[in-house]
Each structure stands twice: as C-alpha cells, then as structure tokens.
Amino acid sequence: MARTCRTSPAFILHVRLQLPVVALAFSCVAWAQSDSLAAFNTTLEGVVAKVAPAVVEVQATGQSTRFGDGNDDDNSNSTPSKSERFIGSGVILDSSGYIVTNAHVVSGAKSLTVKLDKDATQGSRPDETSSTTFPARLIGEFKEADLAVLKVEAAQLPTISFNTNENLRPGQLVVALGSPAGLQGSISIGVVSTAGRQITPDGHVAYVQTDAAINPGNSGGPLVDIRGQLVGINSFFITQGGGSEGLGFAIPSRLVKFVYETIRRTGRVSWADIGVRVQGVTPTLSLGLRLPRDSGVVVSDVIPGTAAEQLGIKAGDFLSTIDGQPVENLPKYYEAMYHKGMGDKVALNLIRDSHRISLEIPITASMGDVDHAAAESNPPSNLVPKLGILCSEVGTMPRIETAQLRSKTGVLVEAKAVGGDMQANLMAGDVIHSVNLTSISNVAQLQTVLDQVKSGTPIVLQVERKSQFLYVPVDEN
C-alpha cells in the first residue's frame, strides 16, 4: 500500500514553539565557541610574548663550501670559495648570555654573530648601547646530538625555561619560533605528531616530530608548549618539494638540558664507554643474525682488552636492558651512557642464542668525537659480481697493513664496481669477515656463500671498518 507523508497541525505548532529554543541553543554554542577561541587566542599571544624575546638569530660566517652541502671532503685543487653567511636561530637559556643552537648552524664558522629580539634589550649590557647585535663565541658543541652552546657578553637577558616533565603526547599544541629565510621573529603553530621519532636505526636521537612549519633558518630555534616552556630545539625537516611539508623534527628538551649543562661545566660532552660498539636492529639484521626481535640494539663489536671482552660479551649479543630499563632503540642506549661517569657500573641483560646473560660492567673510559684515519687500500683485483665490489684476500696484503686489522682473515674491499645484483653500504678499506654468521677467509668462499643464500633470504655481512666491527645489511637490486 502506498503511503503519503503528511504533517499534522499539532506537529507544525510544536516545531514553531521549538524554533526559538533551538535558535537560542545555537547562539549559546556560537558564543561559547567564540569565547573559547578568544581565550585560546589570548593564551597564544601570551606564549609568543613570553618566548619571543629569548629567541635569537645566529649569523655564522665562513667559506661557502662549508655551508649547506654537507660535504667535508678536502679538494686541494678547487678554487678558493668566497665568504658566505649562514643564518640560523638560537635560544637564550641563561640571562648572562648563554645560548643553545644547532651544531650544524655554527660548525666550521670563522665568526659568529647573534642578533637579539628588539624586546630582549631592555636589560643592562656592559656597553650600555642600544645595539641588538653581539659577537658570539663557541663554548662547545656536541655533533652527535647536533647541539652547540654560544656565549655573548650581555646581561639581564630574557630566557626560556625547560619543560622538565616533558610528557609530550600526540596532538599536543606546540609553537616553533626562529628566523626562516632570515625573517626574524617568525612563528608557526602545530601539534606533536610523536614524541620519540627515530629517523635512522643508528642515530643517537629520538626526535619530537611536529607539523609546525620548520624551514631553513629555523634550525636552532625553540619548540615550546602552550605554557611557553622549551620542549625541543628545531633541527631539520623532511621535504620532497624543498619547503615545509609538516615533517619537522626537534631535539627533545631532556637531551638539550643535559648537553647544555655538560658543555657549560666541562666544555664538551663525553659518554660512558663500556668497550662495546652497538647498532640499531632492523628487520634484516634480526633475520640474518637470528635475533629475538626486529628492533632494539645489538652489539656489533667488542674492543680488545676491555672489561667487556674480559666478561665475555660478544658481537651479535642482543642488548635487552640497561640498569633494569628496556633498551628499545639506540637513543635509549646512549641516553643511559650519557649519565654514567668513570667508576660507575652498568648492569646489562643480554640475549645470546635464546639464553639470557646478566652481568655488571665498570666504566673505564669515555667516548667523544673520534676521528679515525682513512683506511688504505690496494689496487683492485677479484670481482664479486653479486655485491658489485672488487676484493682481495687479507692474507695477500702487506704486513704493515694487516697489522692495523683486528682480525687477520677475511676479504678486503678494494673498490666498488659498476652494477651488482645486490646493494650494500660497503666502501674501500672494509674487510668482510662473515656472511650470515658464516666466517669468510677468501674471495672464493665469499662467492660460494653468497651463491648458496636462497632468494629472499636476508643477508648480513660482518665488516671491519677503521678498526671497528659493524653489521651491514644487503638488499637486492
């Protein structure tokens, strides 16, 4: 049966009576929203007013080849480059003129200048002038965390305080300040995407990721919360088109505070060395080395003569906990080592072939920036097509060269060849000691072991590079 839709007079009267009530309700919601937006706007203005005077522009002057290209190779035949100025940002952390910025902003600079915000000069300064620009000196830098501390001769400067709790959550509002493209006092607002983003498996830092706009020139500037407290130092962004695409990364304030205080106290940052070298675990490393998890930290090398060697730690051991705390990634490992000093002990829990090993190891040395001499290499010889490398056997090398090696057997990478069925991050001077835990003593054996690996099976090489061991995963082209 067909039905028609009709509306009764009573219903019409009911609707007419309710319309004013509905309109009033919508008006109340609109007023409430307006009040909320006005309150948020006032709060945001207050945050900027509080923070902006403590944000500085850092001007680093040096050779043009030093800036922007990331290439430190020495080319003695190149034409001398012109002096160039690089602009970044910084944060005043002490009213006497101590400033934190990125190490990449100031590294290699011949001279440094800091330009203060116009509202930062209300305090007294030694020269009693109205200038907002000061020469700065580098107190120290910690390249592993991309942080540096500068000093200007000034007094009563505004500062930014640390967020000591740092309980950042995805969606939390944050504000980025700095001098992108030299535009001092630029501000952008966004949210925290994640509080601990590890960009590469072997990086020292787990970053605060944000969608707040970060562009060239923001480097070294602050990322603050809605209370105006420092939650990170803006360091870099990832882009496909060259501009900000909502993928910005800041060094967390907990690490910034540690580096800042350590450099002020000692002029440099060192961390505990227990005689091992470690790498971040990837799915390929996990499968190739038969590790218990596809993330975490694995021991890649044990330094001869150290307590770690004496206690029986071995390359391939999976690091489960440090002092009872899980070691989820490499930044967690280094964070634990940063806070250890000479004479302290570290409690380790390792997993080896499904067996748990617990031990306590003393701190006997510290690590810092280490510059190793480049490894020497011989003329190319045997081609290993699968890896696209030219190799020779360690036993055929001159004695003076083998004396520098910690293991006297293996295959030396002489050079990279064109092509190759697989890709591996190998370089001239590397010595391949094993493939998927199978020891290699000559080129023929390397060829045979590679040929025996079934298609789709992960391949992990153990390599000695500049007197240290590491694991190198191999990918198919």
Indicate if 212 and 296 belong to the same structural domain. no
Indicate if 344 and 391 belong to the same structural domain. no
Do the beta carbons of residue 207 and residue 252 sit within 8 Å?
yes
Tell me which of 201 and 73 has the higher pLDDT: 201
Residue 468: other Cβ atoms inside 10 A: 14
Residue where one domain finishes, among candidates 301, 334, 367:
367
Give the range of the structural domain holding residue 254, as residue numbers without chain letter.
Answer: 173-266
Tell me which of 37 and 140 has the higher pLDDT: 140
Compute, in degrees rounded to 10, the torsion defined by CA atoms 441, 447, 449, 450: 130
Q: Which residues are catalytic?
A: 104, 146, 219
Do the beta carbons of residue 290 and residue 316 sit within 8 Å?
no
Indicate if 275 and 359 belong to the same structural domain. yes
Report angle CA 120, 121, 122 to the nearest 5 degrees.
100
Compute, in degrees rounded to 10, the torsion defined by CA atoms 134, 137, 139, 140: 110
Do the beta carbons of residue 149 and residue 100 sit within 8 Å?
yes
Give the number of C-alpha atoms closer than 13 A to the C-alpha of residue 96, restricted to the C-beta side: 2
Of 16-30, 242-256, 273-287, 371-385, the least confident:
371-385
Do the beta carbons of residue 88 and residue 63 sit within 8 Å?
no
Has residue 61 been placed in a domain? yes
Q: Which helix (H) or strand (E) holds 254?
A: helix 253-266
Residue 315, pLDDT score: 93
Hey, what are 30's tokens?
């609109």
Residue 3, pLDDT score: 44
Confidence label for 255 from pLDDT (cuts 50, 70 and 90): very high
Confidence label for 304 from pLDDT (cuts 50, 70 and 90): confident
Phi, psi of 303, deg, nearest 5: -75, 125
Q: 193 pLDDT exceeds 80?
A: yes
Tell me which of 318 and 424 has the higher pLDDT: 318
Indicate if 292 and 261 belong to the same structural domain. no
Has residue 97 been placed in a domain? yes
Do the beta carbons of residue 285 and residue 278 sit within 8 Å?
no
Indicate if 431 and 412 belong to the same structural domain. yes
Q: Nearest-CA neighbor of 282 among 299, 300, 295, 297?
A: 295
Indicate if 426 and 404 belong to the same structural domain. yes
- The percentage of residues in the chain with a pLDDT greater than 70, rounded to a whole number, is 78
Indicate if 241 and 198 belong to the same structural domain. yes
Has residue 300 been placed in a domain? yes
Q: Which helix (H) or strand (E) holds 257?
A: helix 253-266
Has residue 38 been placed in a domain? no
Distance CA 141, CA 271 (A): 14
Indicate if 434 and 399 belong to the same structural domain. yes
Indicate if 123 and 207 belong to the same structural domain. no
Residue where one domain finishes, among candidates 226, 251, 266:
266
What type of residue is 321?
T
Has residue 372 been placed in a domain? no
Indicate if 359 and 424 belong to the same structural domain. no
Residue 192, pLDDT score: 92
Has residue 28 been placed in a domain? no
What would the mean pLDDT of 337-351 be, rounded to a whole number?
87
Task: Please name the residues in contact with 85: beta carbons below 8 A apart, sequence gap of 6 or more.
Answer: 59, 60, 61
Q: Nearest-CA neighbor of 377 among 342, 402, 409?
A: 402
Hey, what are 71's tokens?
């290439």
* Pair type for strands 248-252 and 230-237: antiparallel
> pLDDT of 13-38, one tens digit each?
444 545 555 555 556 555 556 677 88
Residue where one domain finishes, among candidates 266, 288, 305:
266
Please classify residue 19 by burial: count the beta carbons closer than 10 Å to its beta carbon, then call 0-12 exposed, 13-18 middle and 19+ buried: exposed
Tell me which of 105 and 340 has the higher pLDDT: 105
Indicate if 298 and 247 belong to the same structural domain. no
Average pLDDT of the chain?
80
Compute, in degrees rounded to 10, the torsion defined by CA atoms 265, 270, 272, 276: 180
Residue 246, pLDDT score: 78
- Per-residue DSSP letter, 302: E
Distance CA 330, CA 41 (A): 40
Reported residue count of the chain is 477
Q: What domain count does the chain have? A: 4
Of 101-105, 364-368, 461-465, the least confident:
364-368
Please classify residue 441 by burial: count the beta carbons closer than 10 Å to its beta carbon, then call 0-12 exposed, 13-18 middle and 19+ buried: middle
Residue 7, pLDDT score: 45
| CATH number for position 141 | 2.40.10.10
Tell me which of 18 and 153 has the higher pLDDT: 153
Q: 469 pLDDT exceeds 70?
A: yes
Indicate if 275 and 358 belong to the same structural domain. yes
Phi, psi of 87, deg, nearest 5: -110, 130
Distance CA 314, CA 460 (A): 17
| CATH number for position 427 | 2.30.42.10
Task: Please name the residues in contact with 245: beta carbons below 8 A apart, sequence gap of 6 or more.
Answer: 237, 238, 239
